[in-house]
Amino acid sequence: MLDLGWQELFLITLVGLLVVGPKQLPGLVRSSTAWIRKTKLSVSNFQSSLEEIAREAELEEVKNQTKKIIFDEVSSLPSDLEENTEPDQCVDGWSRRGISEKNSKDNKKTNTVKTTKSNLKNRKAKI
């Protein structure tokens, strides 16, 4: 904490001995250590209360974000349900899409067969 070496402690003790005197020095040391202990305890209590307040604020923020996400999801549910619960529209869309894809594939096959037949006829005509 203070990083005092033996030289600094010796100097402090010497100054204290000269200023206070040998009779009152032990009492001064006891009261000083008690005051330092109380100060350390107060500082640690203050730090722990600040950390607790920070944790509570963090938890409150997370709680509010979670509530917002849940509210947004729940509020969007009715519109999603309305879009997906009209059976005629969904089935018709899927069936129309499937039929058009099948027709386009069939048309491609038919065109391929026709071009192959015409190529064969052209080759036979040349021979």
Give the whole-angstrom CA distance, residue 107 versus residue 105: 5
Looking at residue 44, what is its pLDDT? 93
Residue 104 lies in a domain: yes
* Amino acid at position 82, single letter: E
Number of independent structural domains in the chain: 1
pLDDT over 70 percentage in the chain: 61
1 assigned to some structural domain: no
What is the pLDDT, as a whole number, of residue 43?
Answer: 93
The residue-averaged pLDDT of 53-78 equals 82
For residue 76, give both structure tokens: 């969007």
Phi, psi for residue 5 in degrees, rounded to 5: -90, 180
Q: For residue 8, count other CB atoms closer than 10 A to its CB.
A: 11
55 part of a folded domain: no
Range of the domain at 125: 96-127
Residue 90 near residue 84 (C-beta atoms within 8 A)? yes
Does pTM surpass 0.75?
A: no
* 114 compared with 5, residue with greater pLDDT: 5
